[in-house]
Amino acid sequence: MLRHLSKQQSKAGASSYLLHQWQQRCCYHSEKGVFGYRPQKQREFKVPDEVVQSRNAQGNVYRWVEAYRKYGHKLAAVNPISIKSQQSTLDELNPAFYGLQSNESVKPQGLFNAPELASHTPTVEELERVLKQIYCGTAVSAEFGYVENLEEREWLATQFEQLHTPQYQQLLSNDNRKKIAELLIKSQAWDNFMATKFPTVKRYGGEGAESLLAFFWQLLRNSAQDDLKNIVVAMPHRGRTSLQTILLNMRPAKVFHKLSGESEFPDGCLAMSDVISHFHISDDIKVDDKTIRFSMVRNPSHLEAANPVSMGKARSKQQTLKDGAFSDDPEKRFASTVLNVILHGDAAFAGQGINQECLNMAYVPHFEVGGSIHLIVNNQVGFTTPGDRGRSTDYTSDLAKTIQCPVFHVNGDDPEMLALVTKLAFDYQRQFRKDIFIDLNCFRRWGHNELDDPTFTNPKVYGIVNNRKSVPDMYSEKLVNESVLSPEEAAKIRSEYMDYLNQELLAVPKYKPETSYFQKQWQHITTASNDHLTYWDTGVDYGLLNYIGQQSVTYPEDFNIHPHLKKTYVDARRKKLNAGEKIDWATAEAMAIGSLMYQGYNVRISGEDVGRGTFSHRHVMLVDQENNEMYIPLNDMKEGNGGKLEVAHSILSEEAVLAYEYGMAIDNPDNLIIWEAQFGDFANGAQIIIDNFIISGETKWMDSNGLVILLPHGYDGAASEHSSCRIERFLQLCDSKESAPDSDNINVQVVNPTTPAQYFHVLRRQMVRNYRKPLIVVAPKILLRLSAATSSFRDFEAGTQFQNILGDATPQPDAIKRVILCSGKHYYALADERQAKNLQDTAIVRLESLCPFPAYELQKEMLKYKNAKTFVWAQEEHRNMGAWTFVKPRFEHLIGKELVYCGRVEAPTSATGIGKVHKREVEEILQRPFQL
């Protein structure tokens, strides 16, 4: 029976095998699928014979039409503030280029999809007029000629060429047009109100991009019609508050309250908060009598960094709602209930490498979310840099072509066309479950912010901007001229909304921020204790752990395992488990993960080559040596509460992948999310995510998460790269106090465990506790197979827990004259050196937890050594690195004893690349601690 693993609600996991013989688009060691991944059906598509015949019979006409589909965008004039002369001709679009005469008749069947040409036999001249209108107009243009899939190209051509047909025009009833006008008028009123009442605030308003609201209005309506339950959005600051307050139910009083100098969180909340342009919203939106959960993820000022966070959050919701491959229904595709939407800035999309990483993840197994809808708010300037100086491509959207995303370029002056294209983009995403882009060509009414003067660097562009009407005014006038909207109605919309904003401003003194955290799936989670450290029984009956460990190396009889793994991994693990001794790191990890799964928690481990592990130690997934099939033994446990393990082999990326895992971790506290860097210093590539989300996300936004980051670390002669995970950087980012004991309520935990059991307990503690904190594990390399770094079954049993320090049980306390403190693998080298010297007067104490700093345990341990005169901090790292500068002030202030340094000297790089120097340094840092 399971002991100490009770949970209020057990979870049913999805089937770990989907035995449908489908031909997948992306081969991933499996034609059957594993938990979280299901191969896609091969879509059947064939161009009708009569269409093929028509194209063959009119080959030159067809080539000409295809040229418009491929190159027509080059002659389109969708830029509302262009200062460049528009190209007027292109050889590829000239019918004479294909030997066609203007009065020549053509049969449009199979060649073109405009209904106005279907009722008669047009001439080349007539067809040219329609082609120019559709592909080279002033409202919209399209790029999809590079899409390799024939079905997609045919679908896109058909739908795009019918944008002006009743099928799409019915979206633009007079009532709907008036609704769009209302949204734009309110957006302008909001920005005007903010400019008047808060003139010194950088608000990043939506002036020039007000049509953005038409995009969201149409997207919400389509989503409701398609019964989507969740929309997860990443959006930068531009126009963010106008969207939130006008369309997404956020009270303007919340913004005004913040701008009056108050927090957006209730009294008593310890959050340091953030600026209004980073405001978050997660609310139920009523659309056409249906409810959609709209979640806009938090964004820092680091542009585009929130995009992979939204992808991870979307996938987590898909897992919870059994969407796509998490469903028992083999026909269910990803994004059936949860849709991911990402907005970009033009310069940021072209310039930030995280976008390439996100697109590269789009269709990768275990990272796919069923296709995202992207919208680029193309201001045509980055900070103050003109658009064509901020990239080497023709369009800001060209990166989308790397994964063959169709792109629609829309004139921001035409909110109606944007609504139509939004419907088209939505339909494409639903049809093919792939990413698609809308490039909204608009402008910024002001500079980078409202306090900036853009004419310094862009005088011509802003000469146009400053001498033109606003988008809301232009659209309102259009509807007035067409007798759809009266001037009185437009004025009433504005005046009533301004009255509402004034009422909200007057309500600020009485406004009380609502609690927006620890809601819904987070209800059973609380904030960490601010008074003391708590301790959690994370032990498990060894009989159960033995079963789990045995299951972790059990595979079907017809499975062809690698012979080396059979001997050194499977057989060796079974032997250790049965003996209950010398349990190694990988086995302890499997027992920790498996016991959490037994309890009902889902576990996900992500990173490069995580299935086998960088050091070929994990092998949590096995690969059949004959048919290449993947098998995850832990997912076939026959008992327990149904938790599942997802093994996510990532692209060669750190920033986007870590952000993705963070997005999963902030969505569901009952999923253990683990990201493993291939080597610890690979975390350098994700520093933006570490600084702006993981380290500070809770204190800024009250977004708790239990993400685990494994960073292999150790000086083994590997030179400057791959030796150090830069412990010092993480410790510098901790809010641990130097002169007062830490409580549970620190922003991030940093541990450097030295035994498999310690690792086991710290993983289980992440889920067992009633609060969530990010965990940085300074993970081992040589300890993975070091015989001294093993554990006994007694270290895992019920009643055991993670030890913040591991004291020294060997020497007699009264005989101790010297105490060496250390952390991590350096302990084993020091212990060997002490044994070689046969020293009885030296104790070695391990700090397993660095943050929170274990002041109480250290005080208690130091009291044992009443005769000790010297206290040494020993580390492998250089003096300006490692934990020295973190431990020294805390030890001296809280323990009251002077601490002496012993380690490598200061250096600009983490480790030498000269073998002889490395050996000399090792000898020195092992000898010197015993000489002080």
pLDDT digits (tens, 9 = 90+) for 898-927: 999 999 999 999 999 999 999 999 999 999
Rounded Cα gap, residues 396 and 62, in angstroms: 30
The tens digit of pLDDT for each residue in 232-271 reads 999 999 999 999 999 998 999 999 999 999 999 999 888 8
Q: What's the 3-state SS for 607-651?
A: ECCCCCCCCCCCCCCEECCCCCCEECHHHHCCCCCCCCEEEEECC
- Of 685, 654, 663, the C-alpha closest to 309 is 663
Q: Per-residue confidence at 105, pLDDT binned at 50, 70, 90? A: very high
Q: Is the pLDDT of residue 16 over 70?
A: no
The tens digit of pLDDT for each residue in 179-217 reads 999 999 999 999 999 999 999 888 888 899 999 999 999
Whether the CB-CB separation of 458 and 396 falls below 8 Å is answered with no
Report pLDDT for 114: 81
Assigned architecture for domain 806-930: 3-Layer(aba) Sandwich (3.40)
Whether domain 171-261+270-515 has CATH 3.40.50.970: the reply is yes
Q: Per-residue confidence at 277, pLDDT binned at 50, 70, 90? A: confident
Q: Please state the rounded mean pLDDT for residues 521-534.
A: 93
Q: Is the pLDDT of residue 125 over 80?
A: yes
- Of 797, 843, 374, 884, the C-alpha closest to 583 is 797
Angstrom CA distances, 834 to 180, 676, 843, 864, 921, stand at 78, 33, 9, 19, 18
Quickly count: other Cβ atoms within 10 Å of residue 31's Cβ.
17
Phi, psi torsion values for 500, nearest 5 degrees: -60, -40
Report pLDDT for 200: 87
Q: Please state the rounded mean pLDDT for residues 302-326.
A: 97
| Residue scoring higher pLDDT (83 or 289) | 289
What strand order describes the sheet that includes 805-806? 805-806, 842-847, 818-822, 870-878, 900-904
Q: Please state the rounded mean pLDDT for residues 27-40.
A: 80
The sign of the dihedral angle between the CA atoms of 710, 714, 718, 721 is positive
Quickly count: other Cβ atoms within 10 Å of residue 846's Cβ.
26
Domain 171-261+270-515 matches domain 806-930 at the CATH topology level: yes
Tokens of 440: 């909204």
Within 8 A by CB and 6+ apart from 186, the residues are: 242, 246, 493, 494, 497
Q: Where are the domains of the chain?
A: 49-167, 171-261+270-515, 542-795, 806-930
Q: Is the pLDDT of residue 20 over 80?
A: no
The sign of the dihedral angle between the CA atoms of 779, 783, 784, 790 is negative
CATH number of 542-795: 3.40.50.12470
Within 8 A by CB and 6+ apart from 287, the residues are: 220, 221, 223, 224
Report pLDDT for 498: 98
Q: Which helix (H) or strand (E) holds 845?
A: strand 842-847
The sign of the dihedral angle between the CA atoms of 633, 636, 641, 642 is positive
Angstrom CA distances, 766 to 5, 406, 531, 666, 709, stand at 14, 42, 19, 14, 12
Rounded Cα gap, residues 65 and 130, in angstroms: 11
Q: Could you tell me where the beta strands, DSSP code E, fall in 420-466? A: 436-441
Report pLDDT for 190: 96
Phi, psi torsion values for 140, nearest 5 degrees: -155, 150
The packing angle between helices 59-71 and 124-135, to 10°, is: 20
Rounded Cα gap, residues 411 and 81, in angstroms: 10
Rounded Cα gap, residues 134 and 140, in angstroms: 8
The tens digit of pLDDT for each residue in 735-769 reads 999 999 999 999 999 999 999 999 999 999 999 99
Whether the CB-CB separation of 219 and 292 falls below 8 Å is answered with no
The tens digit of pLDDT for each residue in 678-712 reads 999 999 999 999 999 999 999 999 999 999 999 99
Q: Please state the rounded mean pLDDT for residues 511-530.
A: 93
Q: Is the pLDDT of residue 15 over 70?
A: no
Report pLDDT for 29: 65
Q: Is the pLDDT of residue 408 over 90?
A: yes
Q: Which long-range contacts link 519-525 to residues 24+ away (Cβ below 8 Å)?
A: 521/320, 521/667, 521/668, 521/669, 521/670, 522/669, 522/704, 524/8, 524/669, 524/770, 525/669, 525/704, 525/770, 525/771, 525/772
Q: Which residue has the tokens 């095998």?
A: 17
Do strands 805-806 and 645-649 pair parallel, antiparallel, or not at all (unpaired)? unpaired
Q: Is the pLDDT of residue 4 over 80?
A: no
DSSP character string of 860-926:
HHHTT-TT--EEEEEEEEETTSTTHHHHHHHHHHHT-S--EEEEEPP-SSSS-S-HHHHHHHHHHHH
Whether the CB-CB separation of 317 and 286 falls below 8 Å is answered with no
- Would you call the peptide bond into 365 cis, given omega within 30 degrees of 0 as the criterion? no
Tokens of 42: 């091969």
Report pLDDT for 154: 96
- Residue 377's identity, in one-letter code, is V
| H helix count then E strand count, the chain | 29, 24
Rounded Cα gap, residues 221 and 776, in angstroms: 42
Q: Is the pLDDT of residue 159 over 80?
A: yes
Report pLDDT for 24: 37
Whether the CB-CB separation of 717 and 915 falls below 8 Å is answered with yes
Rounded Cα gap, residues 39 and 649, in angstroms: 16
The tens digit of pLDDT for each residue in 509-519 reads 999 999 989 99
Rounded Cα gap, residues 616 and 600, in angstroms: 28
| Residue scoring higher pLDDT (428 or 41) | 428
Report pLDDT for 185: 98
What strand order describes the sheet that includes 372-378? 140-143, 407-411, 436-441, 372-378, 338-345, 230-234, 290-296, 281-287
Q: Per-residue confidence at 462, pLDDT binned at 50, 70, 90? A: confident
Q: Which residue has the tokens 């998490």?
A: 326
Q: Round the average pLDDT of the chain to a whole number and report it.
A: 93
Whether the CB-CB separation of 107 and 100 falls below 8 Å is answered with no
The tens digit of pLDDT for each residue in 614-634 reads 999 999 999 999 999 999 999
